[in-house]
Structure 1
Amino acid sequence: MKAIRKRSNAPIFWALFGAGGMLSALLGPMLVFITGIAVPLGLLLPADTMSYANMLAFSQNLIGKGFIFAVIALFLWHAAHRIFHSLHDIGIHAGTAAKLICYGGAMLGTLIAAYALLAIGF
């Protein structure tokens, strides 16, 4: 008789970590440049690029909602996975408690982002 093997949930977290890492590496520096340097200093973009009206319109658009949600959620999952494994690297082997704190925080942040994006309407 075959032994039943317990399935691991690790591939899900590694996939979210990888997607978040790729997104943060490709888009993170660009987002910092646009929101922190280019728009405030008036470089390359008009001064009203990030006005309240423009940002509200962007966040009410389906594509804008998807982009904002992907950035927030995948950055959170990437950070959660990195923090969890960094705890292990520095000698903190908290096990289930660390998993719940790290991944639970990422899940909570993802749910809050989804709620906030849905609450502002379309």
Structure 2
Amino acid sequence: MTEQKEKKYIRSHEPIFWGLFGAGGMLTAFLTPVMILITGLLIPLGIIDKGNFNYQTLHSFATSWYGAAIVLVLVALPLWHTLHRIFHALHDLGVKRGRDWQQVLCYGFAFAVSVFTFTILLQMF
């Protein structure tokens, strides 16, 4: 009988970052054209009243629980997408030495800004 070797699986944190990358990319792909349409065409042409985008209206939206959650998602996910892309672009450009500092820098910055956004939104309540 041949002896079967036990396979060792190395756990990776990479699927978490790929998930955040994909969600941020999808969000950016869907919302960027809409924001360009609204702020670049519909408001200047007078189709949408710009009174809907004044400070009081946007502040009351951001201070509601659902508005704060939406703002957090709109800030954090595209940021994770961007920094994950930067991290892999560094590797593609040949910056291979000590990838740990690159991960800490890219993902640490995305995490720090996400936490900062969360704390600012909490202070608005």
CA deviation after TM superposition for structure 1 residue 4, in Å = 4.8
TM-score of the pair, normalised by structure 1 = 0.88
**Given the alignment, which residue of 23, 45, 58 partners 2:27?**
23
Q: Tell me, in whole angstroms, the C-alpha distance in 1 between the residues paired with 2:100 and 2:93.
A: 17
> Counterpart of 1:115?
119
What residue number does 2:103 align with?
99
Tell me how far apart the structure 1 counterparts of residues 33 and 96 of structure 2 sit (CA, whole Å): 32
Alignment of 1:13 onto 2:17: yes
How far apart are residue 36 of structure 1 and its match? Answer: 4.8
Deviations 1:65-109 (A, max 9, x none): 111111111011000110000111111124001101110010011
Offset, 1:37? 4.6
Gapped regions of structure 1 (runs ≥ 5): none
Question: 1:70-85 residue pairs with structure 2 within 5 A?
Answer: 70-85=73-88
Runs of 4+ off more than 4 Å: 1-4
**Deviation of residue 62 (structure 1)?**
1.7
Distance 1:62 1:102, change over 3 A: same
Residue among 25, 32, 51 paired with 2:36: 32
Q: Which has the higher helix share?
A: 1
- Name the CA distance, whole Å, in 1 between partners of 2:78 and 2:92: 21
Residue aligning to 2:54: 51
Q: 1:42 to 1:49 in 2, by over 3 A?
A: farther
RMSD value, Cα? 1.8
The number of residue pairs the alignment matches comes to: 120
Gaps of 5+ in 2: none
